[in-house]
């Protein structure tokens, strides 16, 4: 367990195992415990760095904007603290959005990319999901003056309502081995997941059978095996950088 102080926030992370670095980024309103079924398996081969995203878990909110560019920069701060030049990066849901943003914003820090159930913009989410989240965000404006906790919860929801904004055309600049993985019954439409995979040169697409959005939690053995097989192939293809 460790903490790193940025100019304005305190970021929490946990490190397990040895070898090349593998960063794990959880989803909205969660914490690094989401990957409880992944860390032991991955730590047998990799130095696993699991983060609590800014404003989540034990990481503080800090000042300034809360957006995926900021969250991607936070990953770099943690990597710098641990002396890691570049890492394999696995992001789930909002963490997948952060992973994509990191690969575009700081490509030299990413050895390979695992994008799990990410989306490029709010409009890509189905209305049955967007409506309740948007209503909760709107209602949050009425209660946020009552406490800082409620205000933070509303701002975290805003990551789904107002963000991300990743131009699909930019995905073609990602030049590292990439796995796009999602659940068979994912809330992210299959067509959108396929769009992401088809837009990243050479990306692989894996659909986890009999699973929804949190496919790593619902089908951990299948998910873990898929990620480890991909990483084996990525290393065989000579992903550059050092961990």
181-195 tens-digit pLDDT: 999 999 999 999 999
- pLDDT of 170 > 70? The answer is yes
Q: 177 and 234 in contact (C-beta within 8 Å)?
A: yes
Structural tokens at position 138: 């709107």
Between CA 116 and CA 226 the distance in angstroms is: 12
Q: Which of 32-36, 75-79, 140-144 has the lowest mean pLDDT?
A: 140-144
Q: 43 and 16 in contact (C-beta within 8 Å)?
A: yes
Structural tokens at position 81: 């603290």
- How much is the pLDDT for 241? 38
pLDDT averaged over every residue in the chain: 94
Between CA 117 and CA 212 the distance in angstroms is: 10
* 190 CB burial (10 A radius; 0-12, 13-18, 19+): middle
Between CA 230 and CA 243 the distance in angstroms is: 18
The whole-number average pLDDT for the span 71-75 is: 97
Between CA 92 and CA 28 the distance in angstroms is: 9
CA-wise closest residue to 152 among 140, 163, 161, 160 = 140
Q: How confident is the model at residue 237 (pLDDT cuts 50, 70, 90)?
A: very low
The whole-number average pLDDT for the span 88-101 is: 98
Share of the chain above pLDDT 90, in %: 83
- If one compares 137 and 27, the residue with the highest pLDDT of the two is 27
Q: How confident is the model at residue 122 (pLDDT cuts 50, 70, 90)?
A: very high
Q: How confident is the model at residue 33 (pLDDT cuts 50, 70, 90)?
A: very high
Q: How confident is the model at residue 137 (pLDDT cuts 50, 70, 90)?
A: confident
Q: Where are the domains of the chain?
A: 2-123+164-234
- Which overall architecture, per CATH, does domain 2-123+164-234 show? 3-Layer(aba) Sandwich (3.40)
Between CA 62 and CA 9 the distance in angstroms is: 4
The whole-number average pLDDT for the span 160-185 is: 97
């Amino acid at each position: 367990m460790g903490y790193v102080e940025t100019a304005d926030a305190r970021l929490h992370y946990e490190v397990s195992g040895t070898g090349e670095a593998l960063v794990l980024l959880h989803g909205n309103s969660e914490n690094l415990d989401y990957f409880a079924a992944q860390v032991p398996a991955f730590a047998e081969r990799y130095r696993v760095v699991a983060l609590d995203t800014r404003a989540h878990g034990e990481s503080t909110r800090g000042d300034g904007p809360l957006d995926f560019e900021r969250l991607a920069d936070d990953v770099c701060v943690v990597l710098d603290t641990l002396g890691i030049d570049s890492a394999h990066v696995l992001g789930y849901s909002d963490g997948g959005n952060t992973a994509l943003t990191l690969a575009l914003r700081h490509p030299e820090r990413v050895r390979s990319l695992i994008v799990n159930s990410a989306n490029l913009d709010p409009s890509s989410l189905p209305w049955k999901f967007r409506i309740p989240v948007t209503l909760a965000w709107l209602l949050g404006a009425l209660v946020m003056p009552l406490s800082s906790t409620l205000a933070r919860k509303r701002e975290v929801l805003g990551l789904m309502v107002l963000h991300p904004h990743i131009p699909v055309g930019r995905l073609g600049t990602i030049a590292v081995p990439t796995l796009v993985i999602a659940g068979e019954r994912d809330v992210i439409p299959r067509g959108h997941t396929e769009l992401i995979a088809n837009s990243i040169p050479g990306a692989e697409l894996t659909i986890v059978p009999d699973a929804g959005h949190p496919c790593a939690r619902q089908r951990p053995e299948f998910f873990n095996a898929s990620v480890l097989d991909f990483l084996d192939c990525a290393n065989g293809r000579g992903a550059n950088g050092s961990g």
